[in-house]
Structure 1
């Protein structure tokens, strides 16, 4: 159960990082 929680947290963090990168690209590009 603990491993699942850790995996979920990491996947959520990765998703947030990817979303932030895409958002930054959209804002930077005209």
Structure 2
């Protein structure tokens, strides 16, 4: 199951979700 969020950032919710996911990944990597 693959979710391509960076391909179609049309909705604001998708954008926020992508940002949140990105930040979460950064935090996990730095942690």
Higher relative contact order (CA 8 A, sep 6+): 2
More helix per residue? 1
> Which stretches of structure 1, 4 residues or more, deviate above 2 A after TM superposition?
none
Q: Where does the alignment leave 5 or more consecutive residues of structure 2 unmatched? A: 1-9
- Tell me the number of residue pairs that the alignment of Structure 1 and Structure 2 aligns: 22
Q: Where does the alignment leave 5 or more consecutive residues of structure 1 unmatched? A: 23-30
Q: Structure 2 length as normaliser, TM-score?
A: 0.67
**For the pair shown, which has the larger CA radius of gyration, 1 or 2?**
1
Q: Kindly report the root-mean-square deviation, in angstroms, between the aligned alpha carbons of the 2 structures.
A: 1.4
